[in-house]
């Protein structure tokens, strides 16, 4: 079964960014399936990057192109598509 969703890497996140913030920015470009912000496991502080999963590769491509460079709390987001992971043998 092929996976139809597509995950995007989102970097240069401001410390005030929340999953709801990213969901609002990306939902203008398609159906957001999941938002995950990475936090330091020891301090609990944001690490400045996260991942947004869109419903399809087409939506992810449109979102990446449209959202890359958009200012969120004064910082320009850096958005990159992620390569599909290969199955381990």
Query: Would 17 be classed as within a structural domain?
Result: yes
Query: Would 72 be classed as within a structural domain?
Result: yes
Query: Would 42 be classed as within a structural domain?
Result: yes
Average pLDDT over residues 43-59: 94
Average pLDDT over residues 63-74: 95
Q: Round to whole Å and give the CA distance between 86 and 89.
A: 9
Number of structural domains, the chain? 1
Query: Would 48 be classed as within a structural domain?
Result: yes
- How far CA 72 is from CA of 12, 16, 75, 77, 78, in Å, comes to 10, 9, 5, 7, 11
Query: Would 84 be classed as within a structural domain?
Result: no
Mean pLDDT estimate for the chain: 89
Q: Using alpha carbons only, what angle is made at residue 20 by residues 35 and 28, rounded to the nearest 5 degrees? A: 85
CA atoms within 13 A on the CB side of 48: 4
Query: Would 30 be classed as within a structural domain?
Result: yes
CATH code of the domain covering residue 43: 3.30.70.330
Q: What is the pTM of this model?
A: 0.85
pLDDT digits (tens, 9 = 90+) for 29-48: 999 999 999 999 999 999 99
For 58, the domain range is 7-76
Query: Would 46 be classed as within a structural domain?
Result: yes
pLDDT digits (tens, 9 = 90+) for 2-29: 445 699 999 999 999 999 999 999 999 9
Query: Would 81 be classed as within a structural domain?
Result: no
Long-range contacts of the stretch 40-44 (C-beta < 8 A, 24+): none
């Amino acid at each position: 079964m092929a996976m139809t969703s597509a995950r995007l890497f989102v970097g240069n996140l401001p410390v005030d960014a929340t999953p709801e913030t990213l969901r609002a920015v990306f939902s203008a470009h398609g159906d957001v399936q999941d938002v995950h912000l990475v936090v330091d496991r020891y301090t609990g502080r944001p690490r400045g990057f996260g991942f947004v999963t869109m419903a399809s590769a087409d939506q992810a491509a449109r979102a990446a192109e449209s959202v890359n460079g958009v200012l969120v709390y004064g910082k320009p987001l850096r958005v990159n598509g992620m390569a599909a992971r290969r199955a381990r043998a």
